[in-house]
Chains A and B, each alone.
Chain A
Amino acid sequence: MRPLWVVVAARGGRGRGALVAGCTAMVTALLLVAASVVRLGGARITERLLAPIADPGTRGGAVVAIVLTTVPLLLLLDQAVRLGSAGRHRRFVALAVAGATGRDLRRWSAVEVALPAALGALLGVPVWLLLRRLLGVGLAARTGALVPVSVGPGPWAVAVLLVVVGYAAWVGRRAGSRAAQAVAGGRGPQRPPRPWLALGLLALALVVGGGYLGDLGGLRDLVGPLTVLLLALGIAALSPWLAYVAADRTARRARSAAMLLATRRLTADPRQAARAAAAVGAVAMTAGVLSAFVPQVSSGSYEAEDYLVPALVVGVLALVALLTIAGSLAVHSTETVLERRREMAALVATGIPARVVSDSQRLEGLVATLPLALLGVLLGGYGYGLLVHVGTGGLLWVTVAVPLTLAVVYVAVAGSTRLLRPWLLEAVDGASLRTE
């Protein structure tokens, strides 16, 4: 007979396992890239790298940027772990009835996620090697490599793999903790989120960023990346509060059933949706910075190509990140509906069109992301523009970037919701009401 933890871990579901493995593979590959850039140290570089990586002054910023690209994937991992939570709840109830303790449930839940994550982390190594080939060797002769190839695989790579698997196991354990709580009688009503930590981080970012204008000597190179990191974290930390406030205000004026459903769902549990949407602010901030930065380097006395190619790469990465976030939101929203399958099927049975439930998912995603995107693009664009004095022309581009960024966020969220509609329609079918 197989050990119980093997049986339980195998019940996680293939789709969930595949998504967890896919996320961890990409995160591992990106972190290996970041670690290899770190390992370049202050040494003289023999290979031809892109300017921001080759220049020791901007290398720290490049590492921060690469690490930030893993955030949307980690948020997607967070949502992937939620997949199938209704079935897991039933399974955990049965296991609890059979004598499993909360500790057992948490442990099994961690293993359930750690196993596909370990497989994903191992797959991350060939992905990293592929990135070295495509963005390292492939680009070196033309624009300069984006991924260093002079730093070979070593024991440090194992440490990266262990960190990724450890994080995934922690996410799994946390999900198990929630499920165990639900089995034990459910959570009480949640307190609305507070903005203080986020505002503290943003204030700190302003203080650190303000230092850029002063004389900091050798620390000057650290100020930029640190400010960006603090801003990104601050905006991400602000997302639950912003989502809650936006949803609460909208709910009070909601005139349509779809908007009422969306905003009330968000008000009741803003943290889950906000966690999925958290990185939107950082992506929008990137878009804002790029909108001021690109016209600046194009018209200035810079070696434009050295900066435009990395800017293009960052732009593409931001777009990929946005699509990943949209995917996370869609997964979150559909999982929420699946968790409430019966209530939603009952709603449709009473004459609420399934289209309204689907629209409510789209609106929930938009209410969670658009205010965050607006804040990010304004902070990034005007903040950067004013800091480096891009002039009226540069700020004009930022003004153009604001509606453009919001439109891209809208399309990404609406598109991903649309893609998941068939699952939703199946969930709200009248057959879901059967009790016999």
Chain B
Amino acid sequence: MTEQTMREREPMLAARAVHRSFGATTALRGASIEIGAGEHVAITGPSGSGKSTLLHCLAGVLVPDSGLVTLDGRRLDELSLDERTRLRRVQFGLVLQFGQLVPDLTAAENVALPLLLERRGRASARAAADQWLERLGVGDLADQRPTQLSGGQQQRVAIARALVTSPRVVFADEPTGALDTVAGERALEVLVSATRETGAALVIVTHDNRVAAVADREVVLRDGSTEPVGARP
């Protein structure tokens, strides 16, 4: 086997035997998962099974107590805090269930925020934010504050913020959980099509089978451990 073939087989993002506790509560007990470039993976499981914790470990938001999380073979826990923060900003995008937009900023400012940190000029950051908001169908709401938007519109803004840095992986934690069926379906459609279009991998945490069905592969989490279901036919 050539070195190139080996590299191709190496998953872009992987978690191996990850354990994570919060005080006396153990959320993850040896969970493992692999995600390839551009792949769409759904992490499912009952409430309290550790889905969000696994997603946060994969995204470098939380550091596992033991086990490894690697991106392109590089351990995330070996990165400094600043490096991990920048990695999340540039290579990852994050969409949560609710409460993720800064209420005092307009939709465009929320989206432009990561770009300002990347030393993009104000005008350039604003233009990129406007472009993404337009693509996601909320361009006319760029100057509205989150409290003036519906749940579905807020979720589109959050998706725009997750995608504005052209990330390699987008993590979505119950992205439709706080929305009604129609708004949820639209937000999911936008998320899936935008990530397919940009070639970003998508890791989506859900307990909704309809949401899981849009993924290429499903991984089930039970009591903090993963049970691979395999690729869809």
B-binding residues in A (CB < 8 A): 189, 253-257, 260-261, 264-265, 267-269, 340, 342-343, 346-353, 356, 430-431, 433-436
A253, A268, A351: the one within 8 Å of B92 (CB)? A351
**Residue among B61, B93, B94 with the most chain A CB within 10 A?**
B61
Contact B61 A343, beta carbon cutoff 8 Å: no
Contact B121 A435, beta carbon cutoff 8 Å: no
Q: Give Cα A346 to B62, complex, Å.
A: 12
Nearest chain A CB to B73's CB is how many angstroms away? 21
B22, B88, B104: the one within 8 Å of A261 (CB)? B104
Kindly list 10 other residue pairs between chains A and B, CB separation below 8 angstroms, not including A264-B105, A346-B99, A352-B85: A260-B105, A261-B104, A264-B102, A268-B104, A340-B103, A347-B102, A347-B113, A351-B88, A352-B113, A353-B85
Contacts of A265 in B (CB 8 A): 104
Q: Give Cα A257 to B89, complex, Å.
A: 13
> B40-72 interface mask toward A, CB cutoff 8 Å, 1 = contact, 0 = none?
000000011011110010010110000000000
> For chains A and B in complex, what number of residue pairs have CB atoms within 8 angstroms?
99
Contact A350 B56, beta carbon cutoff 8 Å: no
Nearest chain B CB to A107's CB is how many angstroms away? 29
Contacts of A257 in B (CB 8 A): 113, 116-117
Contacts of A431 in B (CB 8 A): 22, 62
Nearest chain A CB to B16's CB is how many angstroms away? 20
Does any Cβ of A come within 8 Å of B38's Cβ?
A: no
Contact B56 A351, beta carbon cutoff 8 Å: no
Q: Give Cα A113 to B7, complex, Å.
A: 64
Contacts of B184 in A (CB 8 A): none
Contacts of B61 in A (CB 8 A): 349, 430, 433
Q: Give Cα A260 to B113, complex, Å.
A: 9
Q: Give Cα A269 to B103, complex, Å.
A: 11
Nearest chain B CB to A88's CB is how many angstroms away? 18
Q: Give Cα A257 to B113, complex, Å.
A: 6
Contacts of A347 in B (CB 8 A): 100, 102, 113
Contact A350 B89, beta carbon cutoff 8 Å: yes
Nearest chain A CB to B100's CB is how many angstroms away? 4
Q: Give Cα A346 to B154, complex, Å.
A: 14
Nearest chain B CB to A96's CB is how many angstroms away? 21
B82, B101, B173: the one within 8 Å of A353 (CB)? B82
Contact B96 A346, beta carbon cutoff 8 Å: yes
Q: Give Cα A352 to B93, complex, Å.
A: 12
* 16 A-B pairs whose Cβ atoms sit less than 8 Å apart in the complex: A253-B122, A254-B122, A256-B116, A264-B105, A349-B59, A351-B86, A351-B92, A351-B117, A352-B89, A352-B114, A356-B117, A431-B22, A434-B52, A435-B52, A435-B174, A436-B51
Nearest chain A CB to B84's CB is how many angstroms away? 9
Contacts of A430 in B (CB 8 A): 56, 61-62
Contacts of B173 in A (CB 8 A): 433
Q: Give Cα A257 to B109, complex, Å.
A: 9
Contact B114 A351, beta carbon cutoff 8 Å: yes
Does any Cβ of A come within 8 Å of B166's Cβ?
A: no
Given known A-B contacts A430-B61, A436-B47, A261 and B105 have beta carbons under 8 A apart: yes
Contact A434 B85, beta carbon cutoff 8 Å: no
Q: Give Cα A189 to B50, complex, Å.
A: 38
Q: Give Cα A269 to B102, complex, Å.
A: 14
Closest to B22 in A: A431
Contacts of B93 in A (CB 8 A): 350
Nearest chain A CB to B203's CB is how many angstroms away? 14
B85, B88, B102, B117: the one within 8 Å of A343 (CB)? B102
Closest 5 CB pairs of A and B: A351-B89, A351-B88, A430-B61, A346-B100, A264-B104
Closest to B91 in A: A351
Contact A343 B109, beta carbon cutoff 8 Å: no
A342, A346, A352: the one within 8 Å of B117 (CB)? A352
Given known A-B contacts A343-B101, A434-B53, A436-B52, A350 and B88 have beta carbons under 8 A apart: yes
Closest to B61 in A: A430
Closest to A351 in B: B89
Does any Cβ of A come within 8 Å of B97's Cβ?
A: yes
Does any Cβ of A come within 8 Å of B156's Cβ?
A: no
Contact B104 A433, beta carbon cutoff 8 Å: no
Contacts of B51 in A (CB 8 A): 436
Nearest chain B CB to A203's CB is how many angstroms away? 33
Contact A342 B62, beta carbon cutoff 8 Å: no
Closest to A436 in B: B48
Contacts of B113 in A (CB 8 A): 257, 260, 347, 352
**Residue among B27, B88, B161 with the most chain A CB within 10 A?**
B88
Contacts of B133 in A (CB 8 A): none
Closest to A342 in B: B99
B94, B99, B116: the one within 8 Å of A255 (CB)? B116
Q: Give Cα A261 to B114, complex, Å.
A: 12
Q: Give Cα A353 to B87, complex, Å.
A: 11
Q: Give Cα A356 to B103, complex, Å.
A: 17
Does any Cβ of A come within 8 Å of B90's Cβ?
A: yes
Closest to A268 in B: B104
**Residue among B87, B116, B117, B174 with the most chain A CB within 10 A?**
B116
Q: Give Cα A435 to B51, complex, Å.
A: 11
Q: Give Cα A278 to B104, complex, Å.
A: 22
Which residues 143-173 of B sit at the A interface, judged by CB distance below 8 A?
A: 145, 147, 161-162, 173
Contacts of B90 in A (CB 8 A): 351
Contacts of B96 in A (CB 8 A): 346, 349, 433
Nearest chain A CB to B186's CB is how many angstroms away? 22
A189, A256, A264: the one within 8 Å of B109 (CB)? A264
Contacts of A352 in B (CB 8 A): 85, 89, 113-114, 117
Nearest chain A CB to B56's CB is how many angstroms away? 6
Contacts of B116 in A (CB 8 A): 255-257, 260
Closest to B48 in A: A436
Closest to B49 in A: A436
Contacts of B161 in A (CB 8 A): 350
Contacts of B56 in A (CB 8 A): 349, 430, 433
